[in-house]
Amino acid sequence: MSVKIKSIRLSSNPNTEVVDSQDGINGKLNKGTDGDLFCIVELVDISNIMNLVKRTVNYRQNGGVWRGLTPKEMLSAVGSTYPGATTQKFETSEYMIGTNKVHSYTTIVLPHEDGLKVANKALQANRATVVVEEVNTDTGEVSKKLTAPENLVNTPLVPQD
């Protein structure tokens, strides 16, 4: 598995505020409704170029402070491998991508993240959830369990970047 940093950029959402910043990409960053600045980091798993897995990560300040490098400093990392990042595939409840019914979701998971939480957050917009198998230790019976049933009903759609 080889996860690389494809790009560091501003949000493509036209409603996202853009401000001047010395820490920014060409002197610009996005500004969230909480006042913190952010940018988008695009990751790709290039281990299978015929079935490219990608993910965008919202890299943002926490209370006005960057957790690590500034976006301007991060630009030098574009094209490099992201250590510890993995690609994980999950079985899901049925959802639609275009006209296709799908039952799985594949994503890139960073070393500090819980893959199940990452997948369920991404699946909210599709009103889907990760499904896991549970085995009854007494009977050996296998059943399916929805890990985030709240995703299936009355979930506000998450704006996509």
Q: Is residue 160, in this structure, part of any structural domain at all?
A: no
Determine if residue 153 is left, alpha or beta; phi over 0 gives left, psi from -120 to 50 gives alpha, anything else beta: beta
Q: How many CB atoms lie within 10 A of CB 7?
A: 15
DSSP state of 56: E
Does residue 76 share a domain with residue 93?
A: no
Does residue 7 share a domain with residue 26?
A: yes
Q: Give how many domains the chain has, as a whole number.
A: 2
Does residue 67 share a domain with residue 109?
A: no
Q: Is residue 127, in this structure, part of any structural domain at all?
A: yes
pTM comes to: 0.77
Tens-digit pLDDT string for the chain (161 aa): 689 999 999 999 999 999 999 999 999 999 999 999 999 999 999 887 777 788 888 899 988 899 889 999 999 999 999 989 999 999 999 888 889 999 999 999 999 899 999 998 888 888 888 888 888 888 888 888 888 878 776 544 444 44
Residue 17 to residues 13, 26, 46, 50, 65, Cα–Cα distance (Å): 9, 15, 32, 35, 18
Q: Is residue 161, in this structure, part of any structural domain at all?
A: no
Q: Is residue 35, in this structure, part of any structural domain at all?
A: yes
The C-alpha atoms of residue 105 and residue 88 are separated, in whole angstroms, by: 8
Full residue range of the structural domain in which residue 139 is found:
84-154
Does residue 79 share a domain with residue 29?
A: yes
The C-alpha atoms of residue 118 and residue 126 are separated, in whole angstroms, by: 14
Residue 81 carries which side chain, given as an amino acid letter?
T
The pLDDT of residue 152 = 75
Q: Is residue 30, in this structure, part of any structural domain at all?
A: yes
* Residue 5, phi then psi, degrees to nearest 5: -85, 110
Q: Report CA 156 to chain centroid distance, whole Å.
A: 17
The pLDDT of residue 1 = 60
Q: Is residue 33, in this structure, part of any structural domain at all?
A: yes
Q: How many CB atoms lie within 10 A of CB 87?
A: 19
Does residue 78 share a domain with residue 119?
A: no
**Which residues, including other chains, have CB under 8 Å from residue 51's CB and lie 6 or more apart?**
none
Pull the structure tokens for residue 7.
């790009």
Does residue 78 share a domain with residue 19?
A: yes
Does residue 88 share a domain with residue 23?
A: no
